[in-house]
Amino acid sequence: MPNIGAPELIIILLVALVVFGPRKLPELGKSLGQGLREFRRSTGAVTDELRRGLDTPAPADGVPAPVPTLTAAPVPAAQVVATPAVPENTPRA
């Protein structure tokens, strides 16, 4: 993508001045600046989070940290519903 030089920037500003008028142009510039500032802030936060994730030290022995496991609560036999198994080669009705 080619860079925008001074002549192109002047043409863009003149078109914006004609389209929006001299009263709306400062408001548009202000809102554009605020949007860019918020965009930079959010991308900076994402980059910081990624760097923090990459900078966390790995375990010394090279084995990953254990992941906690979840166990299911036992279900009483009265709540278990058995379904009959159907062989795969038997046609179904």
Instruction: Give the integer Cα–Cα distance in Å for 35 and 61.
Output: 46
Give the pair of three-digit tokens for residue 88: 């795969």
Q: What confidence tens digit (pLDDT) does each residue in 62-77 have? A: 666 677 787 777 777 6
Query: Is the pLDDT confidence value at 10 over 60?
Result: yes
The answer to whether the beta carbons of residues 86 and 92 sit under 8 Å apart is: yes
pLDDT at 42 over 90: yes
